């Protein structure tokens, strides 16, 4: 029987009602006590690493989770991480860069309702996560509402419904139906994982609105090492407002600028319109293409934790990791 480590980080799944709203209070052992059927799937051990509302999750916590997996990697066949849904996609992306090529499953799950509620989705999600962790499902994934989503492709697209997560610009890896795992895609892996232990948290994100000027971009670039700009449509920056000069100035100062799109599906293509073309051809801004914003944030933190050389940053950014970027100009 497979040995699985359950790593608790908090979230709605572990929450109870308090005078000021839901707050994570249950331990991993308490969660597991609700699921006697898990003993038929695997042998599960528990670690209570954190107990956070996932709004409070930070890159330092991602490093803690990766370190916990690293310390226990040889002792277990797979890992289940309980996590709040609000930032789960960011954590899944970050772990995809911090633990690369894992032949063992690293599964994140959570719930929209606490495990103690009658109407909860917790028990199904957590049981499904154990099924996936005990199966041949390598790498980092999110298991939620019967779907298995690649860690670099997940996004929370519904705030209350049980079908909280979608797979962006990539098919789902598998589905679960009545406890049966139906695989579509097997994620690539190595013979052993490659672990990383550094992130640069100074990565900022700016969402454009019509009529915006360069002031917010200047503010963020002065205080950070990289800025991701969520533009409109296939990508570009307004010709008014001084954005072009802003980007040129800060890139000459050694900052990294990435253009992506606010549109969830089908990605960016800066070469289509004049407002995007010269940003790439003249300034050399990086383009996210089909990557999710969550993956871009985590990947830049991982890259800048390794190097500040502009050519190496670009090479690493466009090198696919866990199928995070596939289109590259298509």
Annotated catalytic sites, by residue?
12
Query: 200 with 179: CB under 8 angstroms?
Result: no
The set of residues, in sequence order, having a beta carbon less than 8 Å from that of 321 and lying 6+ positions away, is 96, 97, 100, 152, 299
Burial class of residue 187 in the structure, from the number of CB atoms within 10 Å of its CB (0-12 exposed, 13-18 middle, 19+ buried): buried
SS3 content of the chain, % helix, strand, coil (to 5): 30, 25, 45
Q: Where are the beta strands (DSSP E) in the chain?
A: 3-10, 15-18, 21-24, 43-52, 78-82, 99-100, 105-109, 139-144, 147-150, 154-156, 165-167, 174-177, 180-183, 194-195, 203-207, 226-231, 256-261, 286-287
The token pair that represents 108 in the structure block: 């994140």
Query: 83 with 24: CB under 8 angstroms?
Result: no
Could you give the maximum distance between any two Cα atoms of the chain, in Å?
63
Query: 259 with 276: CB under 8 angstroms?
Result: yes
Of 65, 69, 42, which Cα lies nearest the Cα of 130?
42
- Using the structure block, give the residue that is written with the tokens 């550094």: 198
């Amino acid at each position: 029987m497979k040995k699985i480590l359950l790593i608790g980080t908090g979230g709605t799944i572990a929450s109870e009602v308090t005078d000021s709203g839901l707050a994570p209070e249950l331990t991993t052992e308490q969660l597991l006590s609700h699921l006697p059927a898990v003993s038929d799937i695997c042998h599960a051990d528990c670690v209570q690493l954190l107990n956070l509302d996932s709004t409070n999750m930070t890159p330092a916590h991602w490093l803690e989770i990766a370190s916990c997996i690293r310390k226990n990697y040889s002792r277990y066949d797979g890992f289940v991480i309980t996590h709040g849904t609000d930032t789960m996609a960011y954590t899944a992306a970050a772990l995809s860069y911090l633990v690369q090529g894992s032949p063992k499953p690293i599964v994140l799950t959570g719930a929209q309702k606490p495990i103690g509620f009658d109407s909860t989705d917790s028990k199904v999600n957590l049981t499904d996560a154990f099924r996936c962790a005990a199966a041949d499902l390598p790498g980092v994934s999110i298991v939620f509402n019967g779907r298995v989503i690649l860690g670099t492709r997940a996004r929370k697209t519904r705030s209350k419904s049980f079908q909280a997560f979608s797979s962006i610009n990539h098919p789902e890896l598998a589905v679960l139906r009545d406890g049966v795992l139906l695989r579509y895609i097997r994620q690539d892996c190595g013979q052993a994982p490659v672990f990383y232990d550094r992130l640069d948290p100074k990565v900022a994100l700016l969402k454009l609105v019509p009529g915006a000027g360069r002031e917010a971009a200047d503010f963020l670039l002065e205080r950070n090492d990289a800025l991701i700009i969520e533009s409109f449509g296939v990508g570009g920056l307004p010709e008014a407002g001084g954005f072009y000069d802003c980007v040129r100035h800060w890139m000459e100062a050694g900052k990294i600028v990435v253009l992506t799109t606010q549109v969830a599906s089908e990605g960016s293509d800066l070469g289509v319109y004049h407002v995007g073309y010269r940003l790439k051809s003249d300034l050399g801004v990086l383009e996210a293409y089909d990557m999710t914003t969550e993956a871009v944030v985590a990947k830049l933190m991982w890259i800048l934790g390794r190097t500040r050389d502009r050519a190496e940053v670009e090479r690493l950014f466009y090198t696919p990791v866990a199928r995070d970027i596939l289109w590259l100009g298509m």
